[in-house]
Amino acid sequence: MSNFHIKHLEEYYQVYRKSVTNPEAFWEEIAEEHFLWRKRWNNVLKWDFSKPEVKWFEGAKLNITENCIDRHLLTRGEKTAILFEPNDPNEKAQHITYNELYKRVNKFANVLKQQGVKKGDRVCIYLPMIPELAISVLACARIGAIHSVVFAGFSATALATRINDSDCRIVITSDGSYRGKKTIDLKSIVDDALTETPNVKNVLVVKRIKSDIHMKTGRDKWLAPLLDEASDICEPEIMDAEDPLFILYTSGSTGKPKGMVHTTAGYMVYTAFSFKNAFQYTENDVYWCTADIGWITGHSYIVYGPLANGATTLMFEGAPTYPDWGRFWEIIQKHKVNQFYTAPTAIRALAKENLDFVEKYDLSSLKVLGTVGEPINEEAWHWYNDNIGKKKCPIIDTWWQTETGGIMISPIPYATPTKPTYATLPFPGIQPALMDENGNEIKENQVNGKLCIKFPWPSMARTIWGNHQRYYDTYFSAFKNNYFTGDGAFRDEVGYYRITGRVDDVIIVSGHNLGTAPIEDAINEHPAVAESAIVGFPHDIKGNALYGYVILKEIGESRNHDNLRKEINQIITEHIGPIAKLDKIQFTKGLPKTRSGKIMRRILRKIAVGEMDNLGDISTLLNPEVVEEIILKRL
């Protein structure tokens, strides 16, 4: 039996039991066997959720890039570490070997040093999905600088807020980026942002689109000539286990974005461990996660987790729609991808298109399919299972958060029997709890509750940058001695978890707790429906009533809308019961989404209750224009 690579359900239960009976021994064994340490730890774990304070592997010394790169050189030097697939299908893919990655990271690290970056300094990275993004992340880690990657779809204002919050003095960006048919002038967004960031003195610019851009003398420098002159050897900075590795901002329901701080050793151990088990990666596999490195999914499961396992990790620069809706499937065929990890929102968008886009390609290399980011509805799950996995690939519905650093609840493929819409079982070392209205743990099965984690795990965030009090208030104040996730969950008769959505998405109708996800699932079963979102609005009798925003497929557009409304409520009645029927159904062309594809229910809720002048900041939305359409056609 191996703690690090679980292969049967039986083994899962054994490993799980061990991990909760003696967590310290469990993680110590994994840490000892699978990583390179410069000095051993004194304590495996010290914790106190009332502060909160959590320390894993205290006293240990290491560098995460030695674990992700150097130690693979002897056995995997010529293996592809990063497989880069450009936006333009006619541009050649790049196979960056571990040997080459070692040199490029070291050169980049030496450039950062030469620019005055020191251990503990914050470095803002604002780059598209090109190899330099992964390389600059690793270069920071090499010298002990704290990276703060900002997703390159964010606006100048959002970028400036993040730069100032963690006081980054240097920004790494590019002259532009390609996405589908568009080129985006990233550098001018940075220029705009930097009018509001007095402390940034230094901008390093990667050339990607070879455009003639404005370079501010004394501040902006092209990266290529600096890299050319830099040595390809850079001794790793030896870090303490609990030294910060990176900051990553996540937006809360209120207030400015929270800079979640992740530290070195625990994050490394857990992302490596969870990558191996969640994807069942074996040596010659090609693994592809479609997320952007600007999100936690990209940090943990494009960069650190895969590289710590010596894997080949594919990075895709482009969009799923370019040159057409077949691009994902074309890439899977071209690079014989074995594990594919994407978001339900992408699956739903792809499922709306003609199946010919899928059927043109040979997807037989696939072994594991993953989803992350939001609940996957039953219809999308089956579409993914039938058409992409051909019913032969387990689907791992992985639940986790920026704050958790790694996958928390997910099937282990080929071990855990899957169940559509269920994230199933906790990973070893993860101790979930469901809480009732009074803050007490519910021990029974077949119950709904608020999802907490009652024991620390190695990759949990340690604080919010510059605001430990907010960290406590947000996550540790609602349930004493528990980390509160903000999500609701249902636990079925065998102990499988189904994430029902953010707890603030729970709507109480006539005294019944209704999660938005199951209702949306039911609606999405209607053949004319592409996507939907439910919110509550006050109702004299029921307390709350339900307002549904529904996107129709083409076949729906031509049909009588009143009939469609009746049919949708009929489906809801069949799936959940008449209690969950919608009072209002508004058909719309789009739903307001965050840049990571999550529906912004907050905005929909405000519109449903008629608080249109008080929508808050909608500038960070992916598609702010849909808000106007929704307001105009409000019922």
How many residues interact with ligand 7RM (rule CB under 6 A)?
A: 20
Q: Which stretch binds ligand 7RM (CB under 6 A): 35-43, 155-163, 225-233, 395-403?
A: 395-403
What does the per-residue mask of binding to ligand 7RM show for 336-365, with x meaning CB under 6 A? ------------------------------
Q: Hey, CA dihedral for 11, 13, 16, 20, is it positive or negative?
A: negative
For position 369 contacting ligand 7RM by CB under 6 A, the verdict is no
For position 401 contacting ligand 7RM by CB under 6 A, the verdict is yes
> Which runs of consecutive H residues, i.e. helices, occur in 207-337?
223-229, 264-279, 296-298, 305-308, 327-335
Q: Which of 149, 164, 254, 146 is nearest to 474 (CA)?
A: 254
Q: How far apart are CA 96 and CA 468, in angstroms?
A: 39
Q: Which of 486, 518, 536, 548 binds ligand 7RM (CB under 6 A)?
A: 486
Q: How far apart are CA 122 and CA 199, in angstroms?
A: 12
Rounded to a whole number of angstroms, the minimum distance from the CB of residue 375 to ligand 7RM is 4
Rounded to a whole number of angstroms, the minimum distance from the CB of residue 220 to ligand 7RM is 31
Q: Which stretch binds ligand 7RM (CB under 6 A): 13-21, 163-171, 352-360, 398-406?
A: 398-406
Q: Report CA 416 to chain centroid distance, whole Å.
A: 22
Rounded to a whole number of angstroms, the minimum distance from the CB of residue 434 to ligand 7RM is 15
Pick 105 or 245: Cβ nearer ligand 7RM? 245
Rounded to a whole number of angstroms, the minimum distance from the CB of residue 373 to ligand 7RM is 4
For position 271 contacting ligand 7RM by CB under 6 A, the verdict is no
Answer yes or no: are the C-beta atoms of 547 and 608 closer than 8 Å: yes
Pick 49 or 399: Cβ nearer ligand 7RM? 399
For position 278 contacting ligand 7RM by CB under 6 A, the verdict is no
Q: Which of 146, 423, 434, 546 binds ligand 7RM (CB under 6 A)?
A: 423
Return phi, psi of residue 15, to 5°.
-65, -40
Answer yes or no: are the C-beta atoms of 149 and 125 closer than 8 Å: yes
Q: Which of 63, 65, 97, 297 binds ligand 7RM (CB under 6 A)?
A: 297
Answer yes or no: are the C-beta atoms of 261 and 462 closer than 8 Å: yes
Q: Which of 2, 99, 164, 250 binds ligand 7RM (CB under 6 A)?
A: 250
> Which runs of consecutive H residues, i.e. helices, occur in 352-503?
356-359, 378-383, 468-475
Answer yes or no: are the C-beta atoms of 304 and 64 closer than 8 Å: yes
For position 292 contacting ligand 7RM by CB under 6 A, the verdict is no
Pick 62 or 303: Cβ nearer ligand 7RM? 303
Q: Which of 152, 206, 296, 303 binds ligand 7RM (CB under 6 A)?
A: 296
For position 400 contacting ligand 7RM by CB under 6 A, the verdict is yes
Q: How far apart are CA 65 and CA 141, in angstroms?
A: 7
For position 399 contacting ligand 7RM by CB under 6 A, the verdict is yes
Answer yes or no: are the C-beta atoms of 244 and 464 closer than 8 Å: no
What does the per-residue mask of binding to ligand 7RM show for 552-591, with x meaning CB under 6 A? ----------------------------------------
For position 502 contacting ligand 7RM by CB under 6 A, the verdict is yes
Please tell me the total number of residues recorded for the chain in this structure: 635
Answer yes or no: are the C-beta atoms of 589 and 630 closer than 8 Å: no
Tokens of 365: 């290399």
Q: How far apart are CA 279 and CA 287, in angstroms?
A: 8
Contacts of 443 (CB under 8 A, 6+ apart): none
Count of C-beta atoms within a 10 Å radius of residue 40: 13
Q: Which stretch binds ligand 7RM (CB under 6 A): 267-275, 481-489, 552-560, 616-624?
A: 481-489
Rounded to a whole number of angstroms, the minimum distance from the CB of residue 484 to ligand 7RM is 11
Residue listed under structure tokens 């490993």:
15
For position 620 contacting ligand 7RM by CB under 6 A, the verdict is no
The CA dihedral of 178, 184, 186, 189, to the nearest 10 degrees, is -160
Contacts of 611 (CB under 8 A, 6+ apart): none
Q: Which of 402, 524, 532, 586 binds ligand 7RM (CB under 6 A)?
A: 402
For position 520 contacting ligand 7RM by CB under 6 A, the verdict is no
Q: What is the largest CA-CA distance in the chain?
A: 73
- Under rule CB under 6 A, which residues in 590-609 are in contact with ligand 7RM? 596
For position 453 contacting ligand 7RM by CB under 6 A, the verdict is no
Pick 388 or 552: Cβ nearer ligand 7RM? 388
User: What's the number of CA atoms in the CB half-sphere (13 Å) around residue 74?
Assistant: 3
Asked if residue 323 has a cis previous peptide bond (ω within 30° of 0), the answer is yes
Rounded to a whole number of angstroms, the minimum distance from the CB of residue 395 to ligand 7RM is 11
Q: Which stretch binds ligand 7RM (CB under 6 A): 188-196, 399-407, 559-567, 619-627?
A: 399-407
For position 312 contacting ligand 7RM by CB under 6 A, the verdict is no
For position 505 contacting ligand 7RM by CB under 6 A, the verdict is no
Q: Which of 314, 407, 313, 305 is nearest to 64 (CA)?
A: 305
Show the CA angle centred on residue 214, arms to residues 209 and 216, nearest 5°. Answer: 130
Rounded to a whole number of angstroms, the minimum distance from the CB of residue 492 to ligand 7RM is 15
Q: Which of 294, 306, 326, 373 binds ligand 7RM (CB under 6 A)?
A: 373
Q: Which stretch binds ligand 7RM (CB under 6 A): 214-222, 370-378, 534-542, 553-561?
A: 370-378
Count of C-beta atoms within a 10 Å radius of residue 394: 19
For position 273 contacting ligand 7RM by CB under 6 A, the verdict is no
Rounded to a whole number of angstroms, the minimum distance from the CB of residue 344 to ligand 7RM is 8
Helix, strand, or coil here: 544? strand
Q: Report CA 64 to chain centroid distance, whole Å.
A: 20
Residues lying near ligand 7RM in the complex (CB under 6 A): 250, 296-297, 372-375, 397-402, 423, 485-487, 499, 502, 596
